[in-house]
Amino acid sequence: MYQEFIFEADAKGLKFKVKAFIGDAEDFGSLKRNGYSFLGGDGKEINTYAKRSEIAYVVTSPKVDVDDIGYDFNNFGIISGGKA
């Protein structure tokens, strides 16, 4: 399901393009705690929910189970695929 949206993959994890992040602050925090990072279009990490409109990519850490990615995206408000 999520494989078609992978933008990049390396030893650090998978990188996904994001169309939108529609989750709330709690969702943002849950994803961060579960090993996801958010990047802006400039490649800089976004660490606050207030900047959610700038999210262009989601990056998984090695601690993220690949079997959970689709579930996490669906339940925590990440709309991936296409152009960011």
- What distance in Å separates the CA atoms of residue 29 and residue 41, rounded to the nearest whole number? 20
Q: What is the pLDDT of residues 18-29, one digit of tens each?
A: 899 999 999 999
At 84 the three-state DSSP class reads coil
Instruction: Report, in this order, helix, strand and coil percent for the chain, each rounded to 5.
Output: 35, 35, 30
Q: What is the pLDDT of residues 5-48, one digit of tens each?
A: 556 555 567 888 889 999 999 999 999 999 999 999 999 999 99
- What distance in Å separates the CA atoms of residue 9 and residue 53, rounded to the nearest whole number? 24
Task: List the alpha helices (DSSP H) in 1-84.
Answer: 25-33, 69-76
pTM: 0.82
